[in-house]
Amino acid sequence: MLTSRALCVPAADAVSLPAAASHAVDFEKEVRPIFEAKCVKCHGEEKQKGGFRVDLKRSVLTGGDNYAPNVLPGKSADSPLIRFVAGLDADMKMPSKGDPLTSEQIGILRAWIDQGAAWPETGGVVEKKHWSFQPLKRPEVPRIEGVAGNPIDLFILAKLAEKGLAPSPEADPRTLCRRLYFDVTGLPPTPEELEAFLAESSRDPQSAIRNLVDQLLASPRYGERWARHWLDVVRFAESDGFETNQPRPNAWPYRDYVIRAFNEDKPFDQFIREQLAGDAFGVDQATGFLVGGPNDRVKSPDPVLTAQQRADELHDIVGTTASAFLGLTVNCARCHNHKFDPIPQTDYYAIKACFAGVQHGERPMKTPDSEKRRLKAEALRPRLAELETALEQFTPLASTAPDAPRRLGLNFRRNSDRFAPVLAKKLRFTIEKTTGAEPCIDELEVWSAAPQPRNVALASAGTKLASSGDYPGDAKHQLAHLVDGKYGNDWSWISNTAGRGWVEIEFAHPENIERIVWGRDRESKYKDRLAIGYKVEISGEDGAWSMVAGSADRAAFNPDAQAGADWDSPALNAAQRAEAAKLDQERRAIVQELAVSMAEQTVYAGRFEKAPPTYRLSRGEPMQPREIIAPGGLSEFGGAWRLAPDAPEQERRLALAKWIASPENPLTARVIVNRLWHYHFGTGLVETPSDLGINGGRPSHPELLDWLASEFLARGWRIKELQRLILLSSTYRQASTLNPEAMRVDAGARLLWRFPPRRLEAEGLRDSILAASGGLDLRAGGPGFDLFETNTNYVKVYATKTRFSGDDFRRMVYQNKPRVELDTLFGAFDCPDAGQIAPRRTSSTTPLQALNLLNSEFLIDQAGAFAQRLQRDAGPDPASQVKRAFSLAFGRGPVPEETEAATRLIATHGLPVFCRALYNANEFLTVF
């Protein structure tokens, strides 16, 4: 339902309007043809005052932001639509191009409106006509006489024939080999790899191509190349953006996940499900997709600003999900119904509701050895408990005397207070001071005296609890956790008062107790909220309280102290000290092993909380909530499903992923195969890879696109399967040679009469420079390297490095990618800054690029390294050095004229200058 306020539109002067037709109007025969002929052609052009589209039923009947509705059933003279088509509003010409409607056509529209504006459910023009909204159907492969083979080629040849064009001949083997290496792996072939391919190609060209394609698709370098494309699409970066732009040191596992997914040829439907709900599949790092965008970590007490920040966070997730997987601009429906695509505002908020519980931040990440380490820790804990119990006998008794000897200082993990056995009905632990914030106790154990010591505080023993007050609204920190027998922060109690609080345990019956054991976090993950001023009191049957222990006789608190035994106490004899030292040595070793086993890798992949209600926001304003919207999909695209408004958080994301990754979804397969085509040929079959909606481009080969999408599904959503088909096609293997006649018909080679050459992108350029110099480090995975100087400023400063070490020579996909910051060298080569999604990169030519490649410190250093390599590989002879350099840089040998010019340059200016010249050559920078 449109909620925007309709502007007051003066009623049309009925005398100035053509008269309404007097007969009963047939919508299908008379009204629809007017909309189709006059409106569909104008898509995307109604951008004047109050602009709206008349090619959708809802647009006609409900209108836009300024005119709502456009049609008033029964009142044609008062309907804004009639004013516009009659030319009565100077600011709104409709249609915006072409001839205006005739008087007869306006009369038909008036009569239709006066007769109730009935519009059959199947009467939406765009829903019926727009190609990408239609169910996917597998088209027939064209038949071309005398031509058989790869279906891709048959579709391409049929379209070329329509334009009177012919394909180019096949590229020579050397060019084709380099093209495949750069395209599939992002790296040039080594001279040895190139020569091996040429030798095989001379014997059996077809077999050589097939083998090379298989080899490259199986290379670990493949995933590094194709992950970079996906990371562009999903705006992934490793810093927050905004004014502080602080780094996210644990965001890199998502990048490694994407690389691994491509290398393993993970089915794309599973790839979708994992990125939206990887926590449900044991792939925690995959949900880095959700929070890969910007996040303003500087929060505000202003509720309006806070609400706006949260709305923007979710808007980023909604928009990226829709553009990456569906190729739709769903984010345009945040404030109103989408102006062009059939996406009502309520659908935007239905998808937003699916992500309402997603928060930016880190969480523990399961790793392949997580279960093994957990089991090892479980096996170690019983022995540790035995040792700590045995060591208790060597610790001195607590004392309340003012001049008592000092016991061990407190630590965060485990502390013990031992006292003379006493019969107690209740025990109270009172906290008077902490290291900061509200005090937290992991587990409070109360042990009975010999001969059979046991923890009598456990809830299972029938104890009752009381406290001064409990931390509100957090299931992890409940009073019941104090005696539940579970260790760790997730099962602890926190007071509701900063710096103090008390807890009281009432035993089921009087118990003879002699010590308590407690700590802040028995798993040693948290070092905060420790009670450093406290007292322990007991009461018997008479109800009188007496103090048995406290912090007064403890040594001064040291935050770095480790849990241990006071076996150096003067109260112990030599034999006791020796026994205690032996037990403590074993205890420390087990504690160290436990620390390793329990260490958790955290990942910036979002935190998931109970989802609050999602409201439709009037005009997108966070402070103007309207009705509650349930989680769901896009109603016009098979996503009319809705969950309960209070559905569990994970269930929401799983349901959304299931719908997006369904073979029945008309968009998903089309979008990904178009992306693959885009990266292989430089332009997609649809030139707007993340917008297949009405405002997006039209497919150059619509039947081929649908055939590829159908084939993709038939092959199990396998990306490598489809890429193999593309790479082995004659279309892909064409030469890139110019043809003046074809250029006049199709200058951009959209019809693929040749292979479109293109310049290396920033990452491929840097990697190729390092490969030629011999400095490329092919270590895979893990934390990345930095192209910026290190600093820890609150507002992060990004100053490009000018000195580099070995760690900086990894492939550029492993760079710590900051948001909206580009290094001064490769940032000039159209490298996306992750400020927003980048489904296609621009390709500019600027003086700064040439200056960087000639004069930057990096290029000068790499030219020097390249020269040293040539001296090692080819010796001191300049002609041999030139031959080796051409082989490494261009994949070919020099012609005599090139050898002569190069040796003259070396003699005059030196070998490093010659290497700089090669790095700047068009042949080095371009994939042909």
**DSSP 3-state of 710:** helix
Q: Are 192 and 186 in contact (CB under 8 A)?
A: no
Q: Tokens 């001296």 map to which residue?
A: 871
State the CB neighbour count (10 A cutoff) for residue 663: 15
**Placement of tokens 């923890």 in the chain:** 455
- Determine the Cα–Cα distance for residues 492 and 486; give it in Å rounded to an integer: 8
What SS3 class is residue 531? strand
Contact between residue 482 and residue 503 where contact means Cβ atoms under 8 Å apart:
yes
Mean pLDDT, residues 536-556 taken together:
93
- The whole-number pLDDT of residue 5 equals 29
Check whether 853 has a pLDDT greater than 90: yes
750 burial (CB, 10 Å; 0-12 / 13-18 / 19+) is middle
- How far apart CA 781 and CA 460 sit, in angstroms, is 47
Q: 390-420 in b/e burial notation, b at 16+ Cβ within 10 A?
A: bbbebbbbbbeeeeeeebbebbbbbbbbbbe
Show the beta-strand stretches assigned E in 519-556. Answer: 531-539, 545-550
- The helix or strand, by DSSP H or E, that contains position 431, with its residue range, turns out to be strand 415-434
Q: Encoding tokens for residue 532? A: 């450093």
Residues ≥6 apart with Cβ < 8 Å to 372: none
* Contact by Cβ (8 Å): 327, 667: yes
State the Cα–Cα distance between residues 571 and 393, nearest whole angstrom: 12
CB atoms within 10 A of CB 330: 23
Q: What is the DSSP string of 492-517?
A: BEEBSSTT-EEEEEEEEEEEEEEEEE
Residue 841 in tokens:
């990169």
3-class state of residue 4 by DSSP: coil
Reported as a single tens digit per residue, the pLDDT across 488-539 is: 998 999 999 999 999 999 999 999 999 999 999 988 888 999 999 999 999 9
Task: With CA atoms as reference, report the closest residue to 35 among 142, 89, 109, 131.
Answer: 109
Predicted pLDDT of residue 69: 64
* 87-129 per-position pLDDT tens digit: 887 767 777 777 888 999 999 999 999 998 888 765 444 445 6
Is the confidence at residue 3, as pLDDT, over 60? no
pLDDT-derived band at 54 (thresholds 50, 70, 90) equals very low
Neighbours of 85 (CB within 10 A): 26
Has residue 903 got a pLDDT over 70? Answer: yes
Domain ranges of the chain: 4-114, 288-363+607-660, 408-558, 758-927
Residue 62 pLDDT grade (very low, low, confident, very high; cuts 50, 70, 90): low
Query: Which has more pLDDT, 301 or 128?
Result: 301
Q: Give the per-residue pLDDT at 258.
A: 98
What pLDDT is stored for residue 121 in this prediction? Answer: 64
Strands of 376-414, DSSP E: none
The one-character DSSP state at 17 is S
User: For the segment 346-355, what is each residue's pLDDT rounded down to a tens digit?
Assistant: 999 999 999 9
Give mean pLDDT, residues 570-583: 81
What whole-number percentage of the chain has pLDDT above 90? 71
Nearest to 296 by CA among 363, 358, 235, 359: 359
Query: What DSSP string runs through 567-605?
Result: TT-TTS-HHHHHHHHHHHHHHHHHHHHHHHHH--EEESS
> Is residue 451 reached through a cis peptide bond, with omega within 30 degrees of 0 on the bond before it?
yes
pLDDT tens, position by position, 314-363: 999 999 999 999 999 999 999 999 989 999 999 999 999 999 999 999 99
Q: Return the minimum-mean-pLDDT range out of 52-56, 181-185, 283-287, 462-466.
A: 52-56
Angle between helices 719-727 and 173-185 (to 10 degrees): 160
Instruction: Give strand pairing partners of 502.
Output: 430
Is the predicted pLDDT of residue 15 greater than 80, yes or no? Answer: no
Q: Collect all residues with Cβ–Cβ distance below 8 Å to 86 and sequence separation of at least 6.
A: 12, 16, 17, 18, 101, 106
Q: How confident is the model at residue 563 (pLDDT cuts 50, 70, 90)?
A: low
Sequence-separated (6 or more) residues with CB below 8 Å from residue 139 = 703, 706, 707, 710
> Alpha-carbon distance 917 to 199, whole Å?
30
Beta bridge partners of 623: none
Q: Smallest Cα–Cα separation from 488: which of 517, 458, 518, 520?
A: 520
Q: pTM higher than 0.85, yes or no?
A: no
Nearest to 185 by CA among 230, 218, 216, 212: 216
Residue 824: CB atoms within 10 Å: 16
Reported as a pLDDT band with limits 50, 70 and 90, residue 598 is confident
- Tell me how many degrees the CA angle 306-311-317 measures, rounded to the nearest 5: 135
Q: What are phi and psi of 455, to 5 degrees?
A: -80, 105
Question: Which DSSP letter does residue 446 get?
Answer: E
Percent of the chain predicted with pLDDT > 70: 92
Mean pLDDT (whole number) for 162-188: 97
> Distance between CA 714 and CA 712 in Å, rounded?
5
CA distance 86 to 113: 15
More confident residue, 126 or 594: 594
The answer to whether the CB of 625 falls within 8 A of the CB of 617 is yes
- Dihedral of CA atoms 868, 872, 876, 877 in degrees, nearest 10, equals -100
pLDDT digits (tens, 9 = 90+) for 380-424: 888 888 887 788 778 888 988 888 888 888 999 889 999 999 999
Average pLDDT over residues 654-679: 98
334 vs 601, more confident: 334
261, two tokens: 């997914």
Domain 4-114 CATH assignment equals 1.10.760: yes
Helix or strand or coil: residue 39?
A: coil
Angle in degrees, CA 846, 851, 853, rounded to 5? 100
Token pair 């770095």 is found at 560
* pLDDT mean across residues, the chain: 90
> What letters, b where the CB count within 10 A reaches 16 and e where it falls short, cover 231-257?
bbbbbbbbbbbbeebbbbebbbbbbbb
- Quick count: other Cβ atoms within 10 Å of Cβ 642? 16
User: Is the separation of the CB atoms in 694 and 341 below 8 Å?
Assistant: yes
State the CB neighbour count (10 A cutoff) for residue 335: 15
Q: How far apart are CA 64 and CA 775, in angstroms?
A: 59
Q: How far apart are CA 358 and CA 337, in angstroms?
A: 25
Q: Is residue 805 pLDDT above 90, yes or no? A: no
- Residue 691 — pLDDT band, cuts 50, 70, 90? very high
CA distances from 661 to 70, 262, 276, 678 (A): 37, 17, 11, 21
Nearest to 698 by CA among 35, 19, 41: 41
DSSP 8-state secondary structure symbol assigned to residue 144: B
